Every structure is written in C-alpha cells, then in structure tokens.
Amino acid sequence: MISLDPQQQSARDWFEGLRTRICAAFEAIEREADSDAAFTFTPWDRVDESAGPEGGGGGVQGLLRGRVFEKVGVNVSTVGGRFSPEFARSINGAGDDPRFFATGISLVAHMANPHVPAVHMNTRYLRTTKSWFGGGADLNPPLPQPQDTDDFHAAFRAACEAHGQVADYPKFKKWADDYFWIPHRNVHRGVGGIFYDHLESDFEPTFAFTRSVGEAFLDIFPAIVRRRMSMAASEADRAAMLAYRGRYAEFNLVYDRGTSFGLKTGGNVDAILMSLPPVATWA
C-alpha cells in the first residue's frame, strides 16, 4: 500500500467518488429501460518492489453490459513506482528521476443504440518531479446529431469558462481535435470535446477545474443518452455503428497515450483494454 499525502488523497477520493456517482447514474438509465443490469467491480493490485514504499497501488475495474449500455467501463486507479528509463524520458518531469505517482478515473461507454453516441472521459493527477492534472472528454457518435454535439461542447465550454484562470476552452477544444485524429484514416475519431494535459498551476485551482470537468460530464452525457436511447434504428444504422467502432479501436490501440501509459506501467491489462468495443467490423 503506497502512502499518500493530503493532495494525493483528496484527488484519489474525488475520482473514486465520481466513479460511484457515474455508475449510479448509468444504472438508473438501465432501470428506465426495464433492465436490471448492474456494474460488477473487480479490484486489482500492482506491485513495484523496485520503488520501495512508493511502489504499488492498484485500482478497481467497473464493467456493465446492459440494454442501453452495450459495454461501459468505469475504472479508477492509484499507483506509484518507477518508470522504465526509456519510458521516463517521454513523461513530463521524469527524465532525471523516474519515480511517479498517478491517480485517476477513466471511462468508455459503447452504446447499444446507434443513435446514442459512444463517449470517453478521463481525468487524472500525476506527480513526478512536477505535478499536474490532465484529462478531458470527447463524444463519439456513429451517427452524429448536431444538437448532441452542440450541447456536449456547451457543457465543457461552461466548465472551462468558470475556471478561466487555469482553463482555456478554445485551446482545449483544439487540443482534443488534434489529439483524437486517426492519421492513417485521415479522419477524427469523433466530434471532439476538450483535452488538456500538464496543467501545472497551483493544486487547488487546477483540481477545482478538473472536478468541474467531471461534473460537466455527469450532467450532460446522461441527458444525451435519455434523448436518443429509444430511437428506432435500422440494420444500416447498426452496420454504420460497427464500422465506426473499428476506427475507434484502431485509434486506441495505435495512438492513444493512455493505453500506452497503462501498459508500460504495469497496469491491469483488462482494465486498460476495456476501452475496446464489444463488437466491431472492418471492411
């Protein structure tokens, strides 16, 4: 068990509390669809004896397969240890000292109805020789609806504008557009959102903004799900969704830095790869 200072503990507590609230909100939607689907939670431990008392930690993988949410994973983790020398050079502040601490929440939802957008959200707190928050959320509709896109962006614009001393919505929106890009397909992964990393201002204002990102997600995404989950869908709509999921999987396996970070720091493989859709097609 790694020992946490007050800042590390408060970040961990927030991420775990947000996980509990999101899971409850998603289960409530399943009940509205006459489904008794519920999350199963699987704890996992990480061992890094090379780092002494600062090494180790673990997390909990939450997974639900239901009538509305075909597959949704909501994971939390708190880990510490040492990066490999090669990987340390790619991490902010770890080039000269490979020790690290990380805590966060990561969520990916793949929906049963093609009219309900898939979604990704994660926020995290990392410490090396530097200390920062990162994360964001992005909407991934197989069949985009302008209203959903506009409402999703408006929610995160408001979150940024409420914390203008540390958050920059135009910058974070462009960051998401640039990051969630599939070069070999020459397309975006979805319709964007916000993305930020290495937010190194004082702990309290950056933590407050990161909490607002979580609140914005919890406010807007369930509303979008309820708006679309009862819409009729054709076989052509489902075929479009499965083809889109193939692109989603390609991005996460080839380009996503979070996937790479988890695999290279000894995280739980099942939790890391929960972002992959349950079914996908390729032409």
Which position among 120, 153, 163, 188 bears the catalytic label?
120
Closest CA to 123 of 194, 180, 44, 226: 194
CB-count burial class (<10 Å; 0-12, 13-18, 19+) for 3? exposed
Distance CA 164, CA 146 (A): 26
Outline where 33-109 has alpha helix (H): 85-88
Please confirm, yes or no, whether 120 is among the known catalytic residues: yes
CA distances from 194 to 105, 110, 120, 175, 197 (A): 16, 19, 11, 7, 10
Q: Edge-to-edge strands of the sheet including 192-199?
A: 40-45, 56-64, 69-82, 99-111, 118-127, 131-140, 192-199
CB-based contact 186:198 (threshold 8 Å):
no
| The Cα angle at residue 11 between residues 72 and 13, in degrees rounded to 5 | 70
CA neighbours closer than 13 Å in the CB half-sphere of residue 209: 31
Closest CA to 277 of 112, 148, 154: 112
Q: Are strands 40-45 and 56-64 parallel, antiparallel or unpaired?
A: antiparallel
Q: How long is the chain? A: 283
Catalytic residues: 120
